Amino acid sequence: MSRITFILSDLHLADGHTILDGFGDVQQAAFEGLLAAACTAGPLGLADDVELIINGDCFDFLATSPFTPEGISDVPMAQAKLRKIIDAHGPFFATLHRFITTPGRHITFITGNHDIELCFEEIRVQIYAAIGIPFDDQRVFFCPTRFYRPMPDVYIEHGNYYDFWNHAMAGLWDEQGNSFNLRPEMITLPVGSHYFQHAAYPISLQYAYFDHVEPSMNSMRQIALLCLLDPKIVMETARLTIQMLSEPHPALMDLAPGDEYVPVKLFEQAMITFFHFHQDMMARKKDWVEPGGSEARERTQAQTMMEHLMLREALTLHEVEAVATICTPATYIMGEDVARGMHAILTHDSSLRYAIAGHTHMVRINPVSISSGTQSYLNTGSWTARMALPAPGEVNKELVEWLKEPDYAHNPLRDVTQFSFALVNSTPGGSSSASLCAWEGGSKGSYRVLA
């Protein structure tokens, strides 16, 4: 029997009413085209068995209101959020229905940090109903573990387990990724989710491009840029962040009156605030293990220190030059942490050929050589809008003004959105062959192999 598997991630369907909804008309058209191609005659549709795996963050419960200040999610709240998502994305669920009604087609959902609510049975029931099938329909499967192995040599997980801010899913899975509780009634959100809802949500609304630039911009560079663009939002975010400490104290205590409008001084004090927040979270997260161990931690600390010094210097420059320096591409530490975690999975299990993640929103493929052959880590990126980080020569006064008050109807940042996915073929000998691909051309398009 011939078999192919599609793996994609990070669709981020939300309520359709804010810039934070990652799944618009162009995403829907590409999704329809990909799934239609998997159901008709052609290279993607000829297989007897076709599995669509959505590897986390399909639904964005995190960006959909209501929120609670306690950093928790419960069943009634999750159901209210999902109703909004379903109402905003009827065509998405209709596309899933058409896909699974084709013989031999089935879907697997893996949980991510934005849709941890998939662990609630009541949410799964709601999704089955939205697709238009009974709750016990075997064509749709919600993976109960942190990882999924559709084939013996393929390992898949979302990737947030290797991200400090989004690592902990207290009470859901053990350290091996197996389920503690198949029917939770309440979930404690990871600290990154709590921080987003409690402190950072206004930044994401006003400056949504932070979550969409390619390559990704880390939080320290975002703070540095906001010290130039919007000092008030930096001060308010610092104030809200301090409230999350075990022993809260006034934020920006050493910032003299008037210095909040001196970017380098505001940056120095804001970074002290966020350093205290990080240290407090470190003390609470007893189960955190740095991907790559102490050597990686020391390397990251040195890199962070050098970057901090560079940003301080940049903030003393003229505004345009400062923005150009801050926007210079740099190593995305979270992306490296996820890569190290997935590399470790491969090196600890020689039977695996591929380890596949999402979460970072950046497409990536790394060969990992071991004595028995070659293994590869693949990241499927995101289907959300992606914008090219401006090159130094592209930064001018007009762009700086746009960064202060973004108007997405007139966006000067180059569109680099890709509808990327991993395509895995099972060979006659029982092994797997995987490629990173991108769907192009909307509902009538085709796919292109990236690597």
- For residue 134, what are the contacts with CB-CB under 8 A and spacing of at least 6? 128
DSSP 74: E
CATH assignment at residue 114? 3.60.21.10
Residue 150: inside a domain:
yes
Helix axes 25-37, 90-100, angle to 10 degrees: 0
Q: What is the pLDDT of residue 68?
A: 83
- Lowest-pLDDT range of 80-89, 297-306, 389-398: 297-306
The gap between the terminal CA atoms of the chain, to the nearest Å, is: 26
Residue 200: inside a domain:
no
Residue 110: inside a domain:
yes
DSSP string, 152-193: TTEEEE-SGGGSGGG---TTTB-TTS-BS-SS-SEEEPPHHH
> The pTM is what?
0.95
State phi, psi for 12 to the nearest 5 degrees: 60, 55
Q: What is the pLDDT of residue 195?
A: 95
Confidence of residue 435 (pLDDT cuts 50, 70, 90): very high
Domain carrying residue 58? 3-188+335-385+416-449
Q: What is the pLDDT of residue 370?
A: 65
Q: What is the mean pLDDT of residues 203-231?
A: 96
Number of domains in the chain: 1
Q: Does 110 or 331 have the greater pLDDT score?
A: 110
Q: What is the mean pLDDT of the chain?
A: 93
- Lowest-pLDDT range of 17-21, 86-90, 156-160, 212-216: 17-21
Residue 49: inside a domain:
yes
Q: What is the pLDDT of residue 373?
A: 64
Q: What is the pLDDT of residue 112?
A: 97
Gap between the Cα atoms of 230 and 4, Å rounded: 49
Q: What is the mean pLDDT of residues 305-313?
A: 96
Q: What is the pLDDT of residue 180?
A: 77
DSSP 196: I
Picking from 111, 101, 163, the residue whose alpha carbon sits closest to that of residue 131 is 101
Q: What is the pLDDT of residue 371?
A: 57
DSSP 13: B
Q: What is the pLDDT of residue 286?
A: 80
State phi, psi for 26 to the nearest 5 degrees: -70, -35
| 258-275 per-position pLDDT tens digit | 999 999 999 999 999 999
372, pLDDT greater than 60: no
Residue 322: inside a domain:
no
Cα 277–280–281 angle (5° rounding)? 85
Contact predicate 390/403, CB 8 Å: no
Residue 131: inside a domain:
yes
Residue 70: inside a domain:
yes
Confidence of residue 168 (pLDDT cuts 50, 70, 90): confident
- Lowest-pLDDT range of 110-119, 169-178, 392-401: 169-178
Q: What is the pLDDT of residue 369?
A: 73
Q: What is the mean pLDDT of residues 54-75?
A: 93
Residue 230: inside a domain:
no
Confidence of residue 199 (pLDDT cuts 50, 70, 90): very high
Cα 33–37–43 angle (5° rounding)? 140
